[in-house]
Chains A and B, each alone.
Chain A
Amino acid sequence: MLEEVTSHVKIPVLYWENSLGRSRSCDIVLPDPNISRDHAVLMRRESGWIITDTGSKSGTLVNHRKISQPRILKPGDVITMGSTSLALKRAGHTAARAKKQGVARKIPRPSGLLLLVTLSQLLLGVQACLAQNSFSIYGLLPFAFLTLLEWTAFLVSSKGFHRVSFEVETIGFLLSGIGLSLLYTISPQDALVQATAMTAGVVLYFCLISFMNDPDRVMQWRLFIEIGAAVLFAVNLVFGVASHGAQNWISLGPITVQPSEFIKIAFIFAGAATLDKLQTKKNLTEFLIFSGVCIGSLIVMRDFGTACIFFVTFLIIAFMRSGSIRTIFLVCAGAVFGLFIILRFRPYVMDRFAAWGHVWQYADTSGYQQTRTLTYAASGGLFGIGLGDGYLKNVFAASSDLVFGVLWEELGLILSLLVVVAIMLFIFYARSDVTRSRSTFYSISACAAAGMLLFQTCLNIFGPTDILPLTGVTLPFISAGGSSMLAVWGLLAFLKASDERTYAVAG
Chain B
Amino acid sequence: MKTTGTRSLVLWILAGGFLVGLALLLYGYVFHGGDWAIQPYNGHLVGGGQLGYAGQVLDRNGVVLAYSQDGERFYNDDQTVRQACLHAVGDTDGFISTGVQTQFRTQLSGYNFFTGLFSPTGEASGHNVTLTLDSNLQKIALEKFNGKRGAAILYNYKSGEILCMVSTPTFDPAAPPSDIDSNPQYEGVYLNRVLSSTYTPGSIFKIVTTAAALDSISGLDTRQFECNGSIIVNNSKITCLSKHGNITMQDGLAKSCNIVFAELAMELGAEKMTDMAQRMGFGQSFEIDGIPTAASFYDVSKANDNELGWSGIGQYTDMVNPCHMVILMGAIANGGTPVIPYYVQSVTGAFGFPFYRGHPSWGSELVDETLAGKLEALLRYNVTSDYGDDMFPGMNVCAKTGTAEVGGGKQPNGWIIGYSANDATPYAFAVVVEEGNYGISSAGRIASALMAAAAG
Contact = CB atoms under 8 A, between A and B. Distances in A.
Interface of A: 14-19, 25-27, 133, 275, 312, 316, 319-320, 323, 363, 371-372, 374-386, 391, 409, 413, 417, 420, 424, 427, 430-431, 434-435, 440, 443-444, 447, 450-451, 454-455, 457-458, 461-462, 465, 467-468
A386 B118 contact: yes
B11 A430 contact: yes
B104 to A, nearest CB: 16
**For chain B, which range describes its interface: under 10, 10 to 19, 20 to 34, or 35 or more residues?**
35 or more
Contact of A319 (B1, B10, B28): B10
A468 B28 CA distance: 13
Interface stretch (B29-37, B62-70, B231-239, B266-274): B29-37
A371 to B, nearest CB: 7
A455 B14 contact: yes
Contacts of B17: 458
Interface in B114-145: 114-118, 122
A133 B122 contact: yes
A27 B33 CA distance: 52
B1 A465 contact: no
A363 B25 CA distance: 19
19 contacts: A15-B2, A27-B1, A275-B1, A323-B3, A323-B6, A378-B37, A381-B113, A382-B115, A383-B115, A385-B116, A424-B18, A427-B11, A430-B11, A435-B4, A447-B11, A451-B14, A454-B18, A455-B14, A465-B25
A377 B30 CA distance: 12
Nearest to B17: A458
Contact of B5 (A18, A386, A409, A435): A435
Closest 4 CB pairs of A and B: A381-B116, A391-B43, A15-B1, A435-B5
A375 B42 contact: yes
Given A384-B118, A386-B118, A462-B25, A371 B11 contact: no
B14 A435 contact: no
A375 B24 contact: no
B15 interface: yes
B188 interface: no
Question: Which of A381, A420, A444, A455 gathers the greatest number of chain B CB atoms within 10 Å?
Answer: A381
A434 B1 CA distance: 8
Contacts of B10: 316, 319-320, 447
Contacts of B15: 424, 427, 454
Question: Which of B3, B4, B36, B41 gathers the greatest number of chain A CB atoms within 10 Å?
Answer: B4
Given A375-B42, A378-B37, A431 B4 contact: no
A443 B8 contact: yes
Nearest to A328: B10
Question: Which of A18, A363, A431 gathers the greatest number of chain B CB atoms within 10 Å?
Answer: A431
B342 to A, nearest CB: 25
Contact of A434 (B8, B22, B39, B115): B8
A375 B17 CA distance: 24
Given A375-B42, A381-B112, A431-B9, 14 more contacts: A19-B3, A323-B6, A323-B7, A371-B39, A375-B37, A380-B118, A386-B118, A409-B116, A413-B29, A424-B18, A430-B8, A435-B4, A461-B25, A467-B28
A431 B11 contact: yes
B44 interface: yes
B72 to A, nearest CB: 24
Question: Which of A363, A371, A380 gathers the greatest number of chain B CB atoms within 10 Å?
Answer: A380
Contacts of A467: 21, 24-25, 28
Interface of B: 1-11, 14-15, 17-18, 21-22, 24-25, 28-29, 33-34, 36-37, 39, 41-44, 111-118, 122
Nearest to A374: B36
A383 B39 contact: no
A391 B34 CA distance: 17
Given A431-B8, A447-B8, A378 B36 contact: yes
Nearest to B5: A435
B116 to A, nearest CB: 3
Given A381-B112, A382-B114, A430-B8, A16 B42 contact: no
A320 B25 contact: no
Question: Which of B1, B42, B43 gathers the greatest number of chain A CB atoms within 10 Å?
Answer: B1
A434 B5 CA distance: 6
Contacts of B42: 375-376, 379, 391
Contacts of B44: 376, 379, 385, 391
Contact of A377 (B4, B34, B36, B113): B36
Nearest to B20: A467
Given A371-B39, A385-B116, A458 B21 contact: yes
Nearest to A19: B1
Contacts of A312: 14
A27 B4 CA distance: 10
A458 B18 contact: yes
Nearest to B45: A379
Nearest to A315: B10
Contacts of A319: 7, 10
Contacts of A434: 4-5, 8
